[in-house]
Amino acid sequence: MRIGTFALFAVLCFGILTVWVPGLWAWGAYQVAIFGLAIVSLAQAIRGRLQVCAPSRLPLLALGMAVLIGTCQLWKGVASNPYETLIRTLEWISMACVFGLVCTLDASEARMLRQAMLWFSFVMAAVVALQNFTAKGKIFWLFEMEGAAGPFPNGNHWAAFVELGLPLAVYRLFAGGRSAWLYTAMIATMYASVIAVASRAGGVLCTAAMLIVPLVLKRHRFAAGARAKLLLGVLAAPAIFTWTVGPQAIWARLMEHDQYQLRREFLLSSWHMFRERPWSGYGLGTWATVYPQFAIVDPGTHANSAHNEWAQWAVEGGIPLVAAMLGLAGWVLCKVPSSPWAFGLVLVLLHSWVEYPFQRQALAGWFAAMLGLLVIVSKDHVIATKESAGLRRRQYLSFLRHVRNWLKPRPGSRDTTVVSQANSLR
């Protein structure tokens, strides 16, 4: 692993570990580190010392569109809260930088980074499961924060983080090898941590991941004992771990009479906000500033988000931002069948209909890193497909040459003698 790859992984981990910090120092340190790595990589690319995988157009266009929208809102003065728009625009820029940095990796480095991200997710899941029972509302057993889930102030955001890593573990389990029990433990621990924090959407989506990813993997060739691993790793072990941490909290939330309480009212208010400025939006990061003008319910606390990322994108960035994210979602859906380990990207985009994971800078950076890894694998798949098609074409042409040579009359044969006699008679 290159120093740059290790540094990028370290910065991503730092962002996750400090995502709970309310002050700007952690946010600023993450930004400075990402921008510094991006500048160094850009300088190396200009000098020809770094080979860059050309990013696919749609992911690059979607991230670039978000940055462009925020910049234009600041330039034109349409942002309702310029400071918040500047902060959110910088976060989109850092997200684009993470995506670009990952695209500088070669295939072997990409595999190492993907494995390192899986291990970090597993370790953090074990910490969350222990912290949930022993920390009594303290992050890392030190810092008081009510409702914390590991380093995240919100259990739903922790679930979104697990959604990115869980399909990786399921994929590695079905890939075979001697580490089946290890990946079984990873799956069970990560799933149980989501149940422990009582995230309803997270529990449903993680369950869907454990069922859908193996179905997608049926098209691939894996070890002979895949069915037994499916039964043990994807059903039995998570069930045992879930029973250990206790499913009572999430079950009680699932049995609530109104599952969409407050979110429904926030969505209606967002719709009225969107109708006022469907194209320009109110400015990235300004939903909380504009909401009081359109509020139809008083939640009793500060409404910091619409709890629906897609609705918030529509309010803040208008139709262009929603169109860009829909294009990104469509691109991911097209690539996931050939790379099932990236199914977590789909889960996070679905989770965004009831939460706001992209407003956590570190979580958005983790998403961008996974998106970059998917681009690298997609490029390798396209290259391998083209090489395979070229090989088949060469084999086909070689076969045609053999057939032509076999049909061509040989010297001294009867057909050659007849042709010679006919020419002499002329």
Among 24-38, 135-149, 260-274, 314-328, the range scoring the smallest mean pLDDT is: 135-149
> What is the b/e burial string over 54-70, where b = at least 16 CB atoms within 10 angstroms of the residue's CB?
ebbebbbbbbebbbbbb
**Full residue range of the structural domain in which residue 417 is found:** 391-425
Q: Within 103-145, where are the H helices? A: 107-134
Kindly state whether residues 353 and 411 are assigned to the same domain: no
Kindly state whether residues 307 and 396 are assigned to the same domain: no
- Count Cβ atoms below 10 Å from residue 387 Cβ, excluding itself: 10
Kindly state whether residues 312 and 401 are assigned to the same domain: no
Q: Taking Cα atoms as reference points, which of 267, 264, 207, 263 lies closest to residue 238?
A: 207
| β-strand pairing of 138-139 with 143-144 | antiparallel
Kindly state whether residues 144 and 84 are assigned to the same domain: yes
pLDDT surpassing 60 at residue 421: no
Higher pLDDT, 282 or 181: 282
| Residue whose token pair is 């939006």 | 281
Contact 179, 231 (CB under 8 A): no
Kindly state whether residues 288 and 414 are assigned to the same domain: no
Contact 244, 285 (CB under 8 A): no
Kindly state whether residues 55 and 164 are assigned to the same domain: yes
Number of H helices, E strands in the chain: 17, 2
The listed range with the strongest mean pLDDT (209-218, 351-360, 390-399) is: 351-360
Long-range contact set of residues 323-329: C-beta below 8 Å, sequence gap at least 24: 324/61, 324/62, 324/65, 324/66, 325/62, 325/349, 327/58, 327/61, 327/62, 328/58, 328/59, 328/62, 328/63
Number of domains in the chain: 2
Distance of alpha carbon 330 from alpha carbon 334, whole angstroms: 6
With the C-alpha atoms ordered 81, 87, 91, 92, is the resulting torsion angle positive or negative? positive
Kindly state whether residues 216 and 252 are assigned to the same domain: yes
Higher pLDDT, 408 or 302: 302
Q: Taking Cα atoms as reference points, which of 48, 27, 13, 7 lies closest to residue 359?
A: 27
- What is the average pLDDT across 354-360? 93
Instruction: Fill in the DSSP letter of residue 235.
Output: I
Among 43-52, 71-80, 147-156, 279-288, the range scoring the smallest mean pLDDT is: 43-52
Beta-bridge mates of residue 144: 138
Burial of 424 (0-12, 13-18, 19+ CB in 10 A): exposed
| Residue 159 binned pLDDT confidence (cut-offs 50, 70, 90) | very high
Kindly state whether residues 291 and 402 are assigned to the same domain: no
Phi, psi dihedral angles at 5 (to 5 degrees): -65, -45
Kindly state whether residues 369 and 409 are assigned to the same domain: no
Chain segment 66-109, per-residue pLDDT in tens: 999 999 999 999 999 999 999 999 999 999 999 999 998 888 99
Share of the chain above pLDDT 90, in %: 49
Kindly state whether residues 213 and 77 are assigned to the same domain: yes
Long-range contact set of residues 232-240: C-beta below 8 Å, sequence gap at least 24: 232/184, 233/170, 233/173, 233/180, 233/183, 233/184, 233/187, 233/188, 234/170, 234/173, 234/187, 234/210, 235/210, 237/184, 237/185, 237/187, 237/188, 238/187, 238/188, 238/191, 238/192, 238/210, 240/188
Q: What is the pLDDT of residue 181?
A: 83
Beta-bridge mates of residue 93: none
Distance of alpha carbon 280 from alpha carbon 78, whole angstroms: 8
Tokens of 21: 């910090």
User: Any idea what the Cα angle at residue 209 is, between residues 258 and 266, rounded to 5°?
Assistant: 30
Q: What is the pLDDT of residue 130?
A: 87
pLDDT surpassing 60 at residue 425: no
Kindly state whether residues 141 and 170 are assigned to the same domain: yes
Chain segment 202-251, per-residue pLDDT in tens: 999 998 998 888 878 765 555 555 555 565 666 766 777 777 677 777 77
Kindly state whether residues 184 and 320 are assigned to the same domain: yes
| Residue whose token pair is 């080979």 | 51
